[in-house]
Chains A and B, each alone.
Chain A
């Protein structure tokens, strides 16, 4: 076994990231574990990202490498471009990170510790933290302010639930999320990098890693925080991409032991939806519903357990605010969002099965 310390580099794809790129690069330059290279791939930015990177090169060269694309490669293509400059013999681990995120100074150290402890590890992902909501600019209408606030709160809660899901399946996570995951470079290169043909390249590459027999794990000591959409339009666009991309990946990989859980989730969703539609439909046709389970303990237990567990998962928030607790306790805002997202899921099925083109 190789006893020399593992060598780490970072690849950051960037498209119009003038507000965040300096912080992101600095986060990786100031890690408690040495990072050999930070490769930023500037993918057709039209803002001041290029100028900021020029200034950063003066400060951090030769550890900082900047590549510039003049033809849009999108995220997967940009990451693959960054991987090509890393020397296979001199880099063991590559951290792929989003430019609009922030990272704890011990993130790389924790990633390395996971690879040291688990020899057959393919990838390890961080927690899915959410960056604080930026203050609204002057002149923002009260309605828009409310939209930003409620969407941030809902996603803050939702991302904590993602961490709970990853804790539940920590030794074989469903998705090594795209905003901060460390991969074994040799393995990622062997897979040909991330797939540029998928809307959610993170899920797709996670499946390919698992299918090779390598592990995909969650390390909650890797702390990373990302920006979340602050308008309904952007949120729906993001979720449609996730949902449609998820269906495409499942259809391509087919039913196997790694996709089984996700297939079951979709089957449950469709069954439940059909159940509701059929129950209402049959009830209407018959001229009224027949009471068959009013005294059954099953729905009562489901309601009580489900509610209790949703409250229990509040402990996954790093900083619990009274507003978070209230939103979770009254359930209504999250219920409205879940209904909207169920609609988005149905539309995603339509997009996938009709083979509609969808931009990234």
Chain B
């Protein structure tokens, strides 16, 4: 999805904020967030591998 890089921190941030304000949410939302977190980590590992394979972007 487009803008997923913004939605992810915003979703996590929103959840933290909701918690801090005492709003909370259902546990199953936590499950979705956990899957998203796993996706972020796997995605980042794949990104680093891609960078190594392509030698891109060049170091500045």
Contact = CB atoms under 8 A, between A and B. Distances in A.
Interface string A316-346: 1000000000000001001101100110010
B40 A309 contact: yes
A68 B4 CA distance: 41
Main secondary structure of the interface of B (DSSP, over half): helix
Contacts of A268: 1, 32, 35-36, 39
Contact of B11 (A163, A296, A302, A313): A302
Contacts of A313: 5
What's the interface size class on B, roughly? 35 or more
B9 A279 contact: no
A140 interface: no
A293 B19 contact: yes
A307 B19 CA distance: 19
A289 B54 contact: no
A268 to B, nearest CB: 7
B1 A302 contact: no
Interface in B22-56: 22-30, 32-37, 39-41, 43-44, 46-47, 50-51, 53-54, 56
Contact of A338 (B7, B51, B60): B7
A161 B5 CA distance: 8
Contacts of B26: 275, 278-279, 282, 292
A202 B24 CA distance: 43
A113 interface: no
Contact of A169 (B7, B19, B41, B50): B50
Interface string A250-285: 000000000000000110110110010011001100
Contact of A305 (B16, B23, B25, B41): B41
Contacts of A304: 9, 12
Contact of B50 (A170, A295, A301, A342): A170
A256 to B, nearest CB: 19
A271 B32 contact: yes
In order of increasing CB-CB distance, the 4 nearest A-B pairs are A303-B12, A294-B19, A302-B12, A306-B8
Interface of A: 158, 161, 163-164, 167-171, 218, 220-221, 239, 265-266, 268-269, 271-272, 275, 278-279, 282-283, 289-296, 298-307, 309-310, 313, 315-316, 331, 334-335, 337-338, 341-342, 345
